[in-house]
Amino acid sequence: MLYIISAIDIEARAIIKYLNLKKTTDRPFETYQNEEVHLVISGVGKINAAGATSYLLKDTLKSYTHNDYAINIGICGSLNNKFNVGDLVLVNKVVDYERKRKYYTDILVEHNLKEGSIQSIDTLHSNYEFEEDLVDMESSAFFEIASKFLSVHQVYVLKIVSDKVSKNQPLERLTNKYIDELIRGKLEEILTFTKSVSSLLKQFQPLLQQQDEEIIKKISISLKLTFSQMKQFEKAYAYFKSNKKVSPLFLKEYFNYIPKSKKERDAIFEDLKTKLYK
């Protein structure tokens, strides 16, 4: 199943029409679907994006499959000269500007798209530091929430550059007609990308095999990890395996290690995460 989240109706209109999606509900979010695609329109901003993503993906907790994937599709501003208006960009790094949190994507599919980083902001203005390539108001919330439901390699952000952002210059007001034309102009590339991801995932074996789950379980018990730490450990483990293409078997040395205190446990845990993300 492909799950799509867009902030505003005009970003999704061409996709809804092309895929013949039918409207299913207005509340709490406007939702469209067919047998293979569910799409939700979140509204602008991180809070709306987080709520809509949770709403959209809630059923994956009941019937999660490795063929599911989620994509945030919409427009963004460009903060430098790497990208021009009209470029379709596959985001490889997502930053929550105000919270200073960074999220790294796991792009396993082969593609011909440009890649770049994006920072999500709370307020639509240009009085912030230009730390990444692109800027929007939803990507970080979408990515954070979606990766709680799906593995990172099943979560993507696709953005079309709608305008160039300059410091101390008023932001452009974009018309619906202009946004619709941008989306329509890249619709074929967007759908080609979704088909590539779908094809890959159908062949994809679960990243974590039984051996991996046993290692995670044994270390979690041995170190007496909290539930939150165990989930963080699973993500770090999966990140290592997806990048190195092998299981981090060096972790077996921790099977029988019993920390003397919570402080020692937390220190060991942070050290393990550092090694896995290296």
Of 250, 247, 254, residue with least CA distance to 212: 247
> Of all helices (H) and strands (E), which one includes residue 230?
helix 227-244
Per-residue pLDDT for 225 more than 90?
Answer: yes
Could you tell me if 109 and 196 are in contact, meaning their C-beta atoms sit under 8 angstroms apart? yes
Domain boundary residue among 180, 203, 226? 203
Per-residue pLDDT for 126 more than 80?
Answer: no
What is the biggest distance separating any 2 CA atoms in the chain, rounded to whole angstroms? 64
Residue scoring higher pLDDT (168 or 58): 58
pLDDT score recorded for residue 77? 93
Residues 82 and 110 in one domain: yes
Question: Tens of pLDDT along 106-117?
Answer: 898 999 999 999
Residues 93 and 170 in one domain: yes
Q: What is the radius of gyration, based on Cα positions, of the chain? A: 20
Residues 149 and 236 in one domain: no
Per-residue pLDDT for 28 more than 70?
Answer: yes
Domain boundary residue among 168, 203, 238? 203
pLDDT score recorded for residue 116? 97
* pLDDT band at residue 9 under the 50/70/90 scheme: very high
CATH number at residue 186: 3.40.50.1580
Per-residue pLDDT for 181 more than 80?
Answer: yes
List for the chain the helix, strand, coil content (%; round to 5): 45, 20, 35
- Report the b/e string of 55-73 with b at 16+ CB within 10 A: bbbeebeeeeebebbbbbb
Residues 217 and 165 in one domain: no
The span from the CA of 152 to the CA of 107, in Å, is: 9
pLDDT score recorded for residue 88? 98
**Residue written as tokens 């945030």?**
72
Lowest mean pLDDT among 6-20, 151-165, 246-260: 246-260
Could you tell me if 104 and 127 are in contact, meaning their C-beta atoms sit under 8 angstroms apart? no
The span from the CA of 89 to the CA of 115, in Å, is: 5
Residues 250 and 143 in one domain: no
Retrieve residue 246's tokens: 């092998």
Residues 249 and 133 in one domain: no
Terminal Cα distance for the chain, rounded = 32
Per-residue pLDDT for 215 more than 70?
Answer: yes
> How many domains are there within the chain?
2
47 three-class SS: helix
Residues 236 and 195 in one domain: no
Per-residue pLDDT for 173 more than 70?
Answer: yes
Domain boundary residue among 184, 203, 222? 203
Question: Tens of pLDDT along 43-90?
Answer: 999 999 999 999 999 988 776 678 899 999 999 999 999 999 999 999
Residues 130 and 234 in one domain: no
Retrieve residue 233's tokens: 């450990």
pLDDT score recorded for residue 170? 61
**Mean pLDDT, all residues of the chain:** 91
Residues 9 and 87 in one domain: yes
pLDDT score recorded for residue 32? 97
Could you tell me if 186 and 83 are in contact, meaning their C-beta atoms sit under 8 angstroms apart? no
- Report the b/e string of 85-101 with b at 16+ CB within 10 A: eebbbbbbbbbbbeeee
How much of the chain, in percent, has pLDDT values that exceed 90? 73
Residues 181 and 96 in one domain: yes
* pLDDT band at residue 168 under the 50/70/90 scheme: low
* pLDDT band at residue 202 under the 50/70/90 scheme: confident
Our measurement of the distance from residue 269's CA atom to the centroid of its chain's CA atoms, rounded to an integer in Å, reads 25
Residues 129 and 241 in one domain: no
Q: Write out the residue range of the structural domain in which residue 217 sits.
A: 210-277
Residues 49 and 131 in one domain: yes
pLDDT score recorded for residue 59? 83
The span from the CA of 66 to the CA of 192, in Å, is: 20
Q: Which residues neighbour 202 within 8 Å (Cβ) at sequence distance 6 or greater?
A: 67
